[in-house]
């Protein structure tokens, strides 16, 4: 088993639909939190994170850090959306990483598709 598990629903994403993700950390050492980076390949557009662990995010962020102190049972859940109208099918790369003292310990990558 790896030190980080990452799941994403749905993997077929459409404009303004809700994206839900879950991260579970089993890393035995000390860590500061997890960071989620997302890249919409072949595009300059961004994903917008809406909430994490039930807490709304007030400003638009395209990179999300979740502190370990608010990860109950080493688990983080987030919601996000993408608002632009796609003119083609885009591949989206989601990368969740365990961070310890500004260094990445381990990461997991999930790919999804974005289209109308």
pTM, rounded to two decimals: 0.91
Domain residue ranges in the chain: 4-114
The rounded mean pLDDT for the chain is 94
Q: Do 33 and 68 form a contact (C-beta atoms < 8 A)?
A: yes
Task: Give, in order, the Cα–Cα distances in Å from 83 to each of 3, 19, 47, 60.
Answer: 32, 12, 8, 12
Architecture of the 4-114 domain: Sandwich (2.60)
Give pLDDT tens digits for 14-70: 999 999 999 999 999 999 999 999 999 999 999 999 999 999 998 877 789 999 999
The predicted structure's pLDDT at residue 61: 79
């Amino acid at each position: 088993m790896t030190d980080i598990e990452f799941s994403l629903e749905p993997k077929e994403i459409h404009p303004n639909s809700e994206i839900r993700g879950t991260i579970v950390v089993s890393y035995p050492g000390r860590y500061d939190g997890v960071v989620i980076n997302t890249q919409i390949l072949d595009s300059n557009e961004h994903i917008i994170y809406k909430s994490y662990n039930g807490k709304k995010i007030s400003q638009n962020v395209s990179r999300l850090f979740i502190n370990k102190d608010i990860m109950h049972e080493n688990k983080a859940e987030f919601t996000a959306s993408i608002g632009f109208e796609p003119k083609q099918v885009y591949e989206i790369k989601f990368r969740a990483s365990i961070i310890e003292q500004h260094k990445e310990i381990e990461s997991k990558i999930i790919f999804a598709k974005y289209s109308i």
